[in-house]
Amino acid sequence: MASSLHELGMILQKKGDLDEAESQYRASHCVDRRIHGEDAVHPDIATSMHQLGEFLLLKGDLDGAESQDRASLFMKLRRYNY
């Protein structure tokens, strides 16, 4: 389900509907969190955070992009015991 929401977000992004695309990317991330657990350290969650960060960067939300990418990196470092 999360991947389907992400794909829909990509389509909406390409169509220029950035607000709805962001909504789908955020929904995809929420699904990953629900599936794996709010406090889980899981690659799917880290990936959805990174993808949302990349979208926010494209949209010009530098603070939001930085926050998502830092959270994604932190989760990956925790996952692999760095």
Q: Residue 2: CA atoms inside 13 Å, Cβ hemisphere, count?
A: 18
Structure tokens at 57: 């960067």
Q: Based on the number of CB atoms within 10 Å of its own CB, is 38 exposed (0-12), middle (13-18) or buried (19 or more)?
A: exposed
> For residue 71, what pLDDT band results from cuts at 50, 70 and 90?
very high
H-type alpha helices, the chain: 2-15, 18-36, 43-59, 62-79
Mean pLDDT of the region 17-37: 95
Which DSSP state fits 37? Answer: -
Domains and CATH numbers, the chain: 2-79 (1.25.40.10)
> For residue 27, what pLDDT band results from cuts at 50, 70 and 90?
very high
Structure tokens at 47: 């990936």
User: Could you tell me the pTM of the whole model?
Assistant: 0.88
